[in-house]
Chains A and B, each alone.
Chain A
Amino acid sequence: MKNRANSSKRPSQSGDASPPAGFFPKWLNINVAIQDVGFFLVGLIAALVVGWIIFPAVLYSKQAQPINFNHALHLNPDKVDGIEGEKKEEKCSFCHEFREDGTFAGIPRLAKCTECHEDPGSPLGETPEEKDLMTRYVATDQQIPWLVYSKQPDCVYFSHIAHVNMGKIACDTCHGDFAGNEKLPLYLENRLTGYSINIWGKRISGFYWNKKPSDRMKMDDCAECHTQMGQEQNNACFVCHK
């Protein structure tokens, strides 16, 4: 008890210089307090930097696609001939096609590429990417190990044809506009979950002012869109889970 009384007296003795006496309560040592707030702020800023900048940077591993596929070039009718279709979806489904039974082929296999790029000896264009395709994959007849941006967990069932054919939803509504891309974006894989950043969304906070369907691909986003479209019955569990 004695010691405590002594220590509480000390501030009033030492702090005559700067603040006027009686301005702060006696138990508050203003110099120590400023120091403490400073430490707190330094810690807070450090924590924020770690949490918002360093952690997301470390969390996602950056991987480049095996070949830098140029969507813009292929969809340009002046440069590439033969990709037919008037609407954008028809052009998309020239390569990202539906099978006859209604299932979606997703990322095309090598056979789709070799429909045009058939002879490794004579490339159609002059780009280094095409040479790469010819020598590494077409000549050796190996599948290209594409990294799929929108790969969902195994327990999820998604019917593309229900959304494209029946719901009349354009591809870029959910996938973003790939048609003008000259370069494929980096594939960012979450090191903990193994899923692409496109599932969680680019923002680590998960908070958006005006969320577009292409921002995130989580279950809540599916359900939100179903509700907005008046398709609430499709929020039943066994519609999207398998």
Chain B
Amino acid sequence: MKKENDHGKPGHKYGMVINLDKCTGCGTCMVACAAENNVSVRPDQSDKERVITWMRLYRITNGKEFPDTEVSYFPRPCMHCDHHPPCVSVCVATATKLDFHTGIVSQIYTRCIGCRYCQAACPYGARYFNWWDAYFPKGKGLDRYLSPEVSPRMRGVVEKCTFCHHRLMRAKSQAYAEDRREIEEDQYQTACTEACPAGAITFGDLNNPEHQVSKLTKHPFTFRLLERIGTEPKVYYQSSRDWVRKLGDNFLPGEYQPVVNKTWMKEEWSTKPGRDTF
């Protein structure tokens, strides 16, 4: 018997807006994420096929010759797809689920059987497989920075960004201690959001019109990765550059529609630190 689910309920829908014009590619988000979430390291961290990076920084260029070359960086956490996340529908062990009350796609490591279907299904490459047990070299201080709020992963399971879910739990506990049920915007922020020195990442509840993210997503420069496959990612990107927005999806020649509203760009955008101020 199918029980009534909460699809229609206007619960929370936590999401992220990343301003690619502000991103300098420093990689602080990657480091902050790894430290916050007890992400294990490898003896050889340069082995990029095996290294685990919940938040990964990609470098993209417009592919033009020297005087016209432009480079942009974009950080890629888990997109926390809102509509039938591909990883959830393929999971044979029900180890990953979309929580309708928070919009967070969960990953239960003790339930995961390590078949890696989800890794193959994820269109964003946001999932990582643990080929070895978690490794934190002793004597170098890494083991002393482990957080008790995030359980370390064993070998043979898949892991991914959880939008620092334990911080939501922490904020909730704080709220309950103060006899509140709801939490404020600034009480639940992910580690990468807090760490970003350029302030490129904004995090909040997309269902709450008061939150900064739901205002930012209305901007015409906003796009999402592979938007047309219908997964409704909750991570939004913003860029004033057409070639960056164009790389967000696989467009056929002539299919991409550039943003034409230049007044928006001049008035709203140029006041913020970004490419236009250079």
Cross-chain contact B176 with A238 (CB below 8 angstroms): no
- How many chain B residues touch A (Cβ–Cβ < 8 Å)? 30
Cross-chain contact A101 with B177 (CB below 8 angstroms): yes
Provide the residues of chain A in CB contact with B104, threshold 8 Å.
Answer: 238
User: Nearest A residue to B106 by beta-carbon distance?
Assistant: A238
Q: B247: CB under 8 A from chain A?
A: no
Cross-chain contact A238 with B173 (CB below 8 angstroms): no
Provide the residues of chain B in CB contact with A166, threshold 8 Å.
Answer: 176, 181
Q: Among B6, B169, B174, point to the contact of A242 (Cβ < 8 A).
A: B169
Interface core residue of B104, B151, B152 (most chain A CB under 10 Å): B151
Interface flags, B100-114, vs A, CB<8A=1, else 0: 111010101111000
Cross-chain contact A101 with B6 (CB below 8 angstroms): no
Q: A98: CB under 8 A from chain B?
A: yes
- List CB contacts (< 8 Å) of A154-189 with chain B: 154-155, 157, 159, 161-162, 165-166
Provide the residues of chain B in CB contact with A233, threshold 8 Å.
Answer: 6, 101
Q: A100: CB under 8 A from chain B?
A: yes
Q: B162: CB under 8 A from chain A?
A: yes
Cross-chain contact B101 with A100 (CB below 8 angstroms): no
Q: B166: CB under 8 A from chain A?
A: yes
Provide the residues of chain B in CB contact with A159, threshold 8 Å.
Answer: 169, 172-173, 176
A156 to chain B, nearest CB (A): 8
Cross-chain contact B108 with A241 (CB below 8 angstroms): yes
Provide the residues of chain B in CB contact with A236, threshold 8 Å.
Answer: 97, 99-101, 106
Q: A153: CB under 8 A from chain B?
A: yes
Q: A135: CB under 8 A from chain B?
A: no
> In the complex where A236-B106, A242-B150 touch, is A162 in contact with B166 (Cβ < 8 A)?
no
Cross-chain contact B109 with A155 (CB below 8 angstroms): yes
Give chain A's interface residues, CB within 8 Å of chain B.
98, 100-103, 153-155, 157, 159, 161-162, 165-166, 233, 236-238, 241-242
Give chain B's interface residues, CB within 8 Å of chain A.
6, 97, 99-102, 104, 106, 108-111, 149-152, 162, 165-166, 169-170, 172-179, 181
List 5 tightest A-B contacts by C-beta distance, closest first. Answer: A102-B173, A102-B177, A238-B106, A155-B151, A161-B176
